[in-house]
């Protein structure tokens, strides 16, 4: 049976274009050279290279042990829920997934921080894998169909999760897409998520290709669950109740701040020397309010540096 490889079918027709000359896509000068997004892209490329070498020059069953399948999970190969996310069915498959990870991963990592971003990404991938295997089991046991019974590989579930998280956190952010790689089309992020979800659900109900559409939907659902229960942006697309108590967004109040000389500010008052809780309350909360009201693209370079400092404090903590 031919493998139902996760081709990035949606992006074959809609190529995301978020040019670097736009303010919200510029990388801050202080950003670390090797971000988690770039590490993911490099690891995916290296594993694809190794995968192809092994497949062409040996008879070792790479897909049997590392691609995700219902039979593999039945045999206890639970590591497949992670390893399938780094495998790909071809060079174009890898490139399209890498493009989506690069476009949506950078702003999400800058907003969430490295650790939270990675949790979001891998949770989306695992959720997509679980939903795909559940759909495979249902198709075999209930409908007697083996169309969904093969192995699944690819980073598409995680990539769709990044799209969903971006749309949930920045629903009004305008995006420019290339229809059929040629025609530029602009839409807001929330409509991109809606279109993607409807398209994937349609192909689940009307199966006709070897694509793991249930994994794509699972990736989006896992990502939205993470946003709801962990991130929960107050002015984002998601406004449902969460297990966390979220304070309502405070209104921005512009007040005159008296100028102080450098020697009037004691060393203990420097942001880097403040305790983490006080630093977040004094320095970070006003910036989060600004993001809620005007979007992340409204931040100045100084404010982005403060967020970077806060992220470093939380990573260390």
CATH number assigned to the domain comprising residue 15: 1.20.1540.10
Q: How many domains does the chain have?
A: 2
Whether pLDDT at 187 is above 50: yes
pLDDT at 36: 94
Asked if residue 249 is part of any domain, the answer here is: no
pLDDT at 6: 40
Q: Are residues 270 and 190 in the same domain?
A: no
pLDDT at 164: 95
- Is pLDDT larger for residue 287 or for residue 21? 287
pLDDT at 146: 58
pLDDT at 34: 76
The per-residue pLDDT for range 161-176, each reduced to its tens digit, is 999 999 999 998 888 8
Of 80-84, 145-149, 186-190, 218-222, least confident by mean pLDDT is 145-149
pLDDT at 288: 80
Query: Cα separations (Å) of 68 from 60, 96, 130?
Result: 16, 20, 9
The last residue of a domain, from among 231, 252, 287: 231
Whether pLDDT at 29 is above 90: no
Q: Are residues 221 and 280 in the same domain?
A: no
Round to whole Å and give the CA distance between 132 and 127: 9
The per-residue pLDDT for range 222-237, each reduced to its tens digit, is 999 999 988 876 556 6
pLDDT at 156: 93
Round to whole Å and give the CA distance between 296 and 139: 43
Predicted TM-score (pTM) of the model is: 0.69
Asked if residue 102 is part of any domain, the answer here is: yes
- CA R_g for the chain: 22
Asked if residue 248 is part of any domain, the answer here is: no
Q: Roughly how many angstroms between the first and final C-alpha of the chain, as a whole number?
A: 49
The pLDDT of 23-46, averaged and rounded, is: 72
7 within 8 A of 208, measured Cβ to Cβ = no
pLDDT at 238: 57
**What is the phi/psi pair of residue 209, to 5°?**
-145, 175
Provide the domain limits for residue 288.
262-316
Of 70-79, 192-201, 288-297, least confident by mean pLDDT is 288-297
Asked if residue 238 is part of any domain, the answer here is: no
Asked if residue 257 is part of any domain, the answer here is: no
């Amino acid at each position: 049976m031919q493998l139902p490889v996760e081709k990035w079918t949606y992006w074959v027709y809609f190529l995301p274009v978020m040019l670097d000359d736009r303010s919200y896509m510029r990388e801050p000068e202080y950003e670390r050279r090797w971000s988690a997004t770039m590490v993911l892209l490099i690891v995916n490329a290296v594993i694809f290279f190794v995968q192809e070498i092994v497949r062409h020059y040996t008879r070792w069953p790479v897909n049997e042990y590392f691609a995700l399948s219902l039979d593999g999970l039945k045999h206890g190969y639970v590591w497949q829920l992670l390893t399938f996310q780094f495998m790909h069915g071809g060079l174009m498959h890898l490139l399209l997934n890498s493009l989506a990870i690069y476009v949506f991963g950078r702003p999400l990592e800058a907003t969430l921080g490295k650790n939270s971003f990675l949790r979001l990404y891998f949770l989306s991938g695992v959720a997509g894998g679980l939903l795909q295997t559940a759909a495979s089991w249902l198709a075999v046991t209930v409908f007697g169909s083996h169309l969904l019974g093969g192995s699944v590989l690819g980073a598409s579930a995680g990539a769709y999760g990044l799209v969903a998280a971006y749309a949930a956190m920045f629903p009004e952010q305008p995006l420019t897409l290339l229809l059929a790689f040629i025609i530029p089309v602009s839409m807001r992020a929330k409509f991109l998520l809606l279109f993607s979800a409807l398209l994937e659900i349609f192909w689940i109900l009307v199966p006709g290709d070897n694509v793991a559409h249930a994994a794509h939907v699972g990736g989006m659902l896992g990502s939205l669950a993470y946003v709801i229960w962990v991130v929960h942006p107050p002015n984002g697309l998601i406004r449902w109740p969460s297990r966390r108590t979220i304070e309502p967004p405070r209104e921005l109040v512009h007040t005159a701040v008296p100028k102080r000389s450098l020697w009037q500010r004691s060393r203990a008052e420097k942001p880097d020397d403040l305790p983490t809780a006080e630093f977040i309350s004094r320095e970070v909360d006003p910036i989060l309010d600004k993001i809620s009201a005007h979007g992340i693209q409204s931040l100045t370079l100084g404010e982005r540096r403060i967020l970077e400092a806060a992220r470093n404090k939380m990573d260390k903590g």
